[in-house]
Structure 1
Amino acid sequence: MLPTPDTSHVSYERIYEPAEDSFLLLDTLSSESEKTFLTNRFRDGPTPHVIELGPGSGVVISFVNAHAGLLFGTPAILSSAIDVNGHACFATAATARKAAAEHKATAGTFLGPIQGNLSAPLRAGSVDVLIFNPPYVPTPELPRQPGQEDHEVMVSKEKKPTFDDDSYLLSLSYAGGRDGMETTDRFLEELPHVLSPRGCCYLLLCAQNKPEEVKERIRGYGSAWKAETVGSSGKTAGWEKLQVVRIWR
């Protein structure tokens, strides 16, 4: 088991705290099957670019970057992250720096976080590995999209967020709307445009997200597209509670 990055510096009042879903991603990405897949796919050729959407504390992307040499067969990777929550961007940067300093021999190069909404900041075909633990909890509706006043709260060091501010920022990390899929549906529409020709995606889903339907939807993109469950948290009442689906072509 590879060491998990230290997130003791992170304030969880407004940032998603690493939980079962986060650790399932770590276990999946460091499994022998996925190390073999990633090594065979990216050891040769151009330096791979790894992006996590919605990193929260940064524990997942920092893990991948810190242990790049073991996961990819080479530390020559570039990594970064995109989060709509400015506090999460600050936390991710700190987590990634600490983890890379502790594992210099295997660490890749962390380029830093970007504050943005899903894949909007990305160029077409620019991502080799895309990791997304989306807001997957079914809720009556999605939180509103952040406005300018929210961004001021998220980046200001002088303005202390209120309890309502904190609750709103946390809701962005878990509230998935209808079937917990409204944000994921948007992401899946964008996915074919941002992945490079050799790109792959690791997407976390819960049972209520209807993962079998999601996989069929992805296979419907064309005969080259594949979607398979490569990690799960075990079954509850016959359902795999959480799944990590690998998407590639």
Structure 2
Amino acid sequence: MLPTPSTSHVDYERIYEPAEDSFLLLDTISSESEKAFLQERFKLQVSGDVRRHSSSPLVVEVGTGSGVVLSFVHAHAELIFGRSDILTAGVDVNRHACKATEVTVSVAEKEQQEQVKSHGFYIGNILGDLSTPIRPGSVDVLIFNPPYVPTPDLPALPGAEDGEQTSYEVDSHLLALSYAGGADGMETTDRLLDDLPNILSKDRGCAYILLCAQNKPEEVKNRVKGLDMNFSVETVGTSGKKAGWEKLQIIRIWR
């Protein structure tokens, strides 16, 4: 197993703490089957006697939280993708999460110092709502661990009014944004899914998205296929069954 980056510096009163869902993403992306998929997708191109890489893949995690997932992919780029020229970036609505991710990536890089340099090139984190800061058609690999818990209401995005609240209220609001998913736990995920045809690169774009049983994964997969006739989708990681249901699963969407 590849080592998990340290997040001991993260303030978990404001930022989602890595849990079973985070670790399922790490295990799935670093599994032999997904490494084979990614290495084939982004392999060297051969023209005559010349071997060269395709353009450097851009990996973006939406909702980085502590940064454990993005920094893991960044730190182990060579082992996961078969190449180290991976560009990594993150997006989060929580400014504390953006700052924490920057530190987590730096820590993960330092943990690799005694080894041959194999990590990617971290561009940075952007404060923003889902895919709004992302240039259309630019993302080769998108990773999303969404707020998937069904809740009566969807928390509003952070705004100027937060300055009028107590620190406890603000921190509670930021944490709610990381787990509260509204109806069926899918309101935020649905917004991102709708934009996938626009976000992902045309020829090689793919996405890893986490779902729970209450999100009705089979319905989600059917919906994805209707977004773009070129999309394929399948479950590539699960946390096991509970009461006959897959408790958590990772779906891979690709062209």
TM range (shorter): over 0.9
Gaps of 5+ in 1: 154-159
Cα 1:161–1:18 change in 2 (3 A) is farther
Structure 1 partner of 2:69:
60
From 184, 196, 204, the counterpart of 2:189: 184
Q: CA RMSD in A?
A: 1.4
Kindly state the Cα deviation for residue 222 of structure 1 after the two structures are TM-superposed.
Answer: 3.8
Q: Residue 124 of structure 2 aligns to which amino acid in structure 1?
A: G
Q: Deviation string for 1:144-195 (max 9, x for gaps)?
A: 1221344x69xxxxxx961111100100000000000000110111111010
Runs of 4+ in 1 over 4 A off after TM superposition: none
- Range with bigger deviation, 220-229 or 16-25: 220-229
- Give the conservation status (yes or no) of the 8 Å contact 1:100–1:108: no
Q: CA deviation at 1:101?
A: 2.1
Asked whether the 8 Å contact 2:93–2:157 carries over to 1, the reply is no
Paired residue for 1:109, among 101, 118, 121?
121
Task: Specify the alignment match of 2:148 in structure 1.
Answer: 136
Partner of 1:20: 20
> What is the TM-score when the length of structure 1 is the normalising length?
0.94
- Shift, 1:115, TM fit: 0.3
| Preserved CA contact (<8 Å) 1:82 1:115 | yes
Structure-1 separation of matches of 2:136 and 2:253: 17
Question: Structure 1 vs Structure 2: percent identity of aligned residues?
Answer: 64
Q: Mapping of 1:81-160 within 5 angstroms? A: 81-104=90-113, 105-150=117-162
In the aligned structure 1, how far is the partner of 2:88 from the partner of 2:246? 30
Q: How many residues align?
A: 242
Q: 1:11 aligns to what?
A: 11
Distance 2:70 2:155 in 1: 25
Provide the TM-score with structure 2 as the length reference. 0.92
Is 2:240 the partner of 1:228?
A: no
Structure having the higher Rg: 2
